[in-house]
Structure 1
Amino acid sequence: MAKPPLSMKPTGWFQVAWSDEIGVGDVHTMKYFDQEMIAWRAESGQLTVMNAYCEHLGAHLGFGGTVVGEVLQCPFHGWQWSREGRNVCIPYEDRPNRGRRIKTYPVTECNQSVYIWHDMDGRAPFFDAPNVFGSFEGDSNVDAYYPQQRLFRQGLELHPQYVLENGVDFAHFKYVHETPIVPVFTRHDFTEPVSFVDFTITFEGDDGQKIEDVDSGVEAINGGLGIAVTKSWGMVDNRTISAITPVDEFTSDVRFMVYIGRPTGRAAEGDPARAETKARAFGEEVIRQFTQDVHIWAHQRYSDPPALASSEQQGFTAIRAWAMQFYPDGGGGSAAELAAAHERRSS
Structure 2
Amino acid sequence: MPNNAALAVGLGLGAVLLTLPSGDFHLEDWGFAKRLVLCVAAGVTVLVLVRLHRLLFQPLELLRTPEDVGYIAEDGRTKARAANEARRRRKVGELPPVYPNGWYRVLDSHMLGRGEVRSAYILGQQLVVFRGHDGKAHVLDAYCPHLGANLAVGGRVLGNCIECPFHGWQYRGSDGKCEKIPYSDKVPEFAQVRRWPSCEVNQQVLIWFHCDGLEPQWSVPEQPEVANGQWVYRGRTEHFINCHIQEIPENGADIAHLGHLHTPGLPSGVDLRYTNSKTWEFVRHDWKVEWDPEPEPNSHCSQMRVNHSLTLFGCRLPLLDLRVVARQVGPGVVFLRFDHSFLGRGLMMHCVTPVEPLLQCVTHTMFYQRNIPAVVPKFILKGESIQFERDVMIWNNKMYISKPLLVKEDAAVRRHRRWFSQFYSQNSPQLEYRRDTLDF
Which of 205, 209, 218 pairs up with 1:118? 209
Structure 2 vs 1, CA of residues 34 and 140 (structure 1 numbering), >3 Å: closer, same or farther?
closer
Query: How far is 1:174 from its partner?
Result: 2.0
Asked if 1:2 is matched to 2:107, the reply is: no
Equivalent position SS for 1:91: coil
Match of 1:17 in 2: 107
Q: Work out whether residues 28 and 62 of structure 1, in 8 Å CA contact, stay in contact via their aligned partners in 2.
A: yes
Residue in structure 2 matched with residue 176 of structure 1 by the alignment = 261
2:287–2:306 contact (8 Å) kept in structure 1:
no
User: Which shows bigger deviation, 50-59 or 217-226?
Assistant: 217-226
Match of 1:92 among 174, 183, 188: 183
1:294 aligns with 2:392: yes
Answer yes or no: is 1:31 the counterpart of 2:121.
yes
Aligned amino acid, residue 233 of structure 1: D
Matched residue type, 2:330: G
Q: Secondary structure at 1:99's aligned position in 2?
A: coil
1:163 and 2:248 aligned: yes
- Which of 378, 394, 415 is equivalent to 1:318? 415
Q: For the Cα contact (< 8 Å) 1:90–1:97, is it kept in 2?
A: no
Instruction: Say yes or no: does 1:53 pair with 2:138.
Output: no
CA distance in 2, matches of 1:60, 1:229: 34
2:403 corresponds to: 305
SS at match of 1:153: strand
Match of 1:101, as an amino acid? Answer: Q
For structure 1, which runs of at least 5 residues remain unmatched after alignment? 269-274, 332-347
User: Aligned AA for 1:189?
Assistant: E
Distance change (3 Å), C-alpha of 1:193 and 1:103? farther
Cα distance in 2 for residues equivalent to 1:143 and 1:45: 19
- SS for the counterpart of 2:248 is helix
SS in 1 for 2:420: helix
Structure 1 residues 148, 300: closer, same or farther in 2, change over 3 A? Answer: farther
Q: Is the 8 A contact 1:242 1:254 kept in 2?
A: yes
CA contact 1:153–1:254 (8 Å) conserved in 2: yes
**1:277 corresponds to 2:277:** no
Q: Spell out, residue by residue over 1:50-89, the C-alpha distance to the aligned partner (whole angstroms, 9 max, x if none).
A: 1101111111111111101111111111111111110111
Equivalents in 2 of 1:130, 1:8: separation in Å?
A: 25
> 5 Å matches for 1:61-76?
61-76=151-166
Q: Partners of 1:277 and 1:23 in 2: how far apart?
A: 27
Q: Does structure 2 retain, via aligned residues, the 8 Å contact 1:18–1:114?
A: yes
Give the residue type in structure 2 aligned to 1:158. Answer: C
Counterpart CA distance in 2 for 1:291 and 1:14 is 21
Change (3 A) 1:184 1:157: closer
The answer to whether the 8 A contact 1:196-1:219 is kept is: no
Would the aligned equivalents of 1:198 and 1:217 in 2 still touch at CA under 8 Å?
no
Q: Is the contact between residue 7 and residue 327 of structure 1 (CA under 8 Å) also seen in structure 2?
A: yes
CA distance in 1, matches of 2:124, 2:226: 36
Opposite residue 219 of structure 1, the aligned amino acid is: V
1:52/1:255 CA distance change after superposition, 3 Å = same
Distance of aligned partners of 1:189 and 1:330 in 2 relative to their CA distance in 1, 3 Å threshold: farther
Amino acid at match of 1:35: Q
Q: Distance in 2 between matches of 1:316 and 1:330?
A: 25
- Unaligned residue ranges in structure 2 (runs of 5+): 1-89, 264-283, 429-440
One-letter amino acid of the structure 1 residue matched with residue 417 of structure 2: R
Question: Within 2, Cα distance between the matches of 1:101 and 1:46?
Answer: 19
Structure 1 Cα separation of the partners of residues 251 and 182 of structure 2: 53
Higher mean alpha-carbon deviation, 94-103 vs 185-194, is at 185-194
Q: Mean alpha-carbon deviation: is it higher for 216-225 or for 59-68?
A: 216-225
Alignment deviations for residues 8-38 of structure 1 (CA, whole Å, 9 cap, x no partner): 2211000111111111111111111111111
Q: In 2, distance between residues paired with 1:259 and 1:251?
A: 26
**Aligned-pair CA distance for 1:190:** 5.8
Alpha-carbon distance between aligned partners in 1 of 2:188 and 2:130, rounded to the nearest angstrom: 21
Larger Rg: 2
Partners of 1:127 and 1:193 within 8 A in 2: no
Q: Structure 2: how far apart are the matches of 1:121 and 1:49?
A: 18
Summarize deviations over 1:300-319 as a string: whole Å, max 9, x none: 21122112221221x12221
Change (3 A) 1:296 1:89: same
* Residue among 248, 256, 274 paired with 2:356: 248
User: Compared with structure 1, are the counterparts of its residues 199 and 11 closer, same or farther at alpha carbon in structure 2 (3 Å cutoff)?
Assistant: same
The answer as to whether partners of 1:258 and 1:287 remain within 8 angstroms in 2 is: no
Indicate whether 1:145 and 2:253 are aligned. Answer: no
SS in 1 for 2:387: helix
Question: What residue number does 2:78 align with?
Answer: none
